[in-house]
Amino acid sequence: MDWECCWNKETLEPGECPNILADEEGGLLSSKQRRILEKCVDCALFSRDVARSSERGNALAPVLALLNQEYQHQKTQIQSLVSFLDSKTLEIRFLHELGSVLQSSMDLDEVLSVALTAITAGKGFGMNRAFLLLMDREQGLLKGHLAIGPRNIEEASQAWDEIARNDLDLKSLAQNFRLSKITSERAKFRDVLDQLIIPVSNSNHILIRALDSRHPLLVEHAFRNPDVDPDFARLLGVDTFLLMPLVSRNRRVGLIIADNFITHREITNEDLRLLETFTFTVAFAVERAALYERLQVELNRVTEAHDKLKEQQELIVRMEKMALVGRITSSIAHSIRNPLMIIGGFARSILRNTPSTDPKRDFIESIVKEARQLESVLDDILNYSDSLYPTRDFWDANQLIESTLRDMQPVLIERDCQCSFVPNPGLPLVYIDFKQLSYCVKTLIMSDMDGRSGDRISIELKGCDDSVLIVIDNQDRNISSEQLEEMLTPFSATSEMGTGIGMALCRTMLEKQGITLDVKARPQGGILYTMKLSTRKEEQA
Amino acid sequence: MNRILVVDDEANIRILYAEELSEEGYEVATAANTAEAIEKLQEKDFDLAVLDIKLKNESGIDLLQKLVKERHDMPVVLCSAFSCYKDDFSAWLADSYVVKSGDLTELKQEIARVLAKKAQRAKLA
């Protein structure tokens, strides 16, 4: 019998079998068994050979036909299973990739970018849009946080063209979204996100119900669904959407709304099942990232508190040292004051009863003078002790100057000094230690006169931003920059200030209160002191 | 003649005050501590008291409070080596506060001022 098919040949020449293509492997041409199983069973010529054999009364021919038919059926089923297996392998690979990215990230924005990109990317779940809402536990609200997707067909086709052109994998797409689109997408959907604020107590709202049920929910016919708030349906603008609660360790983290706003592709149960697996990972990652973020905030707070505590400790140690210095200084000064007072007092008493002709009078006068000088030094030392702890409050700068000048009146008269001051009543109150500032003004004026008489000094108050300036101007005082430097150095002698710590003490007092003192000796003569007093209560310098 | 009680634990200061204030025309009595001061006050009336704040193991402020309570008509001048007590609320009970100095001019001026004020009050009453 002449066979139409080449099944009975042991080996074939290339091109002899129409079912073996030129680029197929050569093994098929030499293996009769492989050829029959892989090619002949699908070959029309072979089927005709079997039919002709049956017509000619071959008893085994119908059995062969039956076996061939069954073989083909089994083969189709295997192919279908292989295809199913392939798709599952892809799914698992995708979920694994997603899981790896989500599990390795501690950054909330990165997690959200990956999650939303996975939902909307063609290489992911392929939904058109996704909205993410997060729980605000303090306010008891479920609030719109982020969204992704096109708002119209033009935008959709443009975005999808771009994605197709770049052919990026999911990770790169998410990275791209996070780096360049997260802000613009949030702004684009701002109107919708702002309206997606639902109190958790509103258990009738479809979103809260989905969240409470902890299972994904496919909402269909939203515009006429009695369970869906019409305003909410109008806000989304789609009839069918998917709600995916994000729940981690029984804690409600948030919810994702996904829809096919542009393509209107049907959302299947398969989509639902796949997304359910995915949302568990997302919820866990979101919660972990949020906790990490909170942890970072707490950590920063603890670090700040630690730094502040350290600063405070250092300050306390410094203050204790200063207090000790202050106490010692004060104690020594007071121990000296009583004997000094007795020496000075008795010397004065003796001086009063000593005739002017008595040669000892000069000696007694010297004792009185030196005792007075030493008392003045003691005052400075005690003032220094006081300067360590300024007590600040709000005071009127006019009152400060008027009161200080009143105290100085006898000295000013004695020195024939014309000290002019015109109050400036419109000024704000200044935050100062009144006593110390009064001492400083007094010391500046005294230092300014430097034992001379007949000086003309003017004092002026000026408002300047958040401060008030005290400007003391003596045009009669001529001083070189070297002398000025000497004047501001502690313990350099001047005629009035004894050991000369007065000016340096002023500096310390003012620095402690954060007040700047600017001293300028004019080249053409005269000296100008400017103190800048703050009108605001700030931390002590 | 106005009678003044000086309370100070330093003997030389008591002598100095007594001499200087007597020269000003006051009758001066002195006490070294609170108990002595109270004893003197029980013996006779005084027009004014000059108190030191730091007495040996005692506080002049405590004595001041006692005097204000029991002898509210007798003015008190605090005289101390500690200028910081000027800002102490308790020291504000005194009619005047003077920082100790070998130059007693300020103390004398304050005593005269306080006594004049007392006399004026008595005249009005």
| Nearest C-alpha in B relative to A391 | B87
In sequence order, what DSSP letters do the residues of A117-131 get, joined into one string? HHHHSTTTT--SEEE
Helix (H, G, I), strand (E, B) or coil at A458: strand
B-contacting residues in A 146-165 (Cβ below 8 Å):
none
pLDDT above 60 (res A490): no
Q: Is the pLDDT of residue B41 over 90?
A: yes
A493 pLDDT higher than 80:
no
A-chain residues near B54 (CB < 8 A): 334
* pLDDT tens readout for residues A9-67: 888 888 888 888 877 766 888 888 888 888 888 888 988 888 888 888 888 888 888 88
* CA-based nearest residue in chain B for residue A346: B16
Report helix, strand or coil for A86.
helix
Instruction: Name the E strands within A375-440.
Output: 393-395, 418-421, 430-432
What distance separates the 2 farthest-apart alpha carbons in chain A? 174
Residue B86 confidence (pLDDT): 61
Q: Does A37 touch chain B (CB under 8 A)?
A: no
- Please provide the DSSP assignment of A15-45 as one string: TSSTTS-TTS-THHHH-HHHHHHHTGGG-HH
Nearest-Cα distance to chain A for B100, in Å, is 7
Residue of A nearest to B103 (CA): A345
Q: Coil, helix or strand for A364?
A: helix
Across the interface, do A338 and B100 touch by the CB < 8 Å criterion? yes
Determine the distance in angstroms separating the CA of A370 from the nearest CA of chain B, rounded to an integer.
Answer: 11
Give B82→chain A minimum CA distance, Å. 7
- Strongest mean pLDDT among A156-170, A345-359, A372-386: A345-359
Which is more confident, A335 or A494?
A335
Residues of B in contact with A370 (CB under 8 A): none
CB A217 within 8 A of CB A243: yes
pTM beyond 0.95: the answer is no
Per the CB < 8 Å rule, is B103 touching A337?
Answer: no
Contacts of A345 in chain B (CB under 8 A): 13, 16, 20, 102-104
Question: Which residues in chain A are closer than 8 Å to B13, comparing Cβ atoms?
Answer: 338, 341-342, 345
For chain A, say whether B106 makes contact (Cβ under 8 Å). Answer: no
B81/A334 CB distance under 8 A: yes
What was the pLDDT predicted at A495?
43
**Interface membership of A350 toward B (CB under 8 Å):** no
CB contact under 8 A, A338 and B13: yes
What residue in B sits closest to A372 (Cα-Cα)?
B102
A375 inside 8 A of chain B by CB: yes
Stretch among A214-228, A323-337, B1-15 having the lowest mean pLDDT: A323-337
Q: Which two tokens stand for residue A211?
A: 């969240």
How many residues does the structure list for chain B?
125
The neighbouring-strand residues paired with B98 are B79
CB A417 within 8 A of CB A457: yes
pLDDT at A498 over 50: no
**Per the CB < 8 Å rule, is B81 touching A342?**
no
> Would the ipTM clear 0.85, i.e. be above it?
no
| B83 contact residues in A (CB cutoff 8 A) | 379, 382, 386
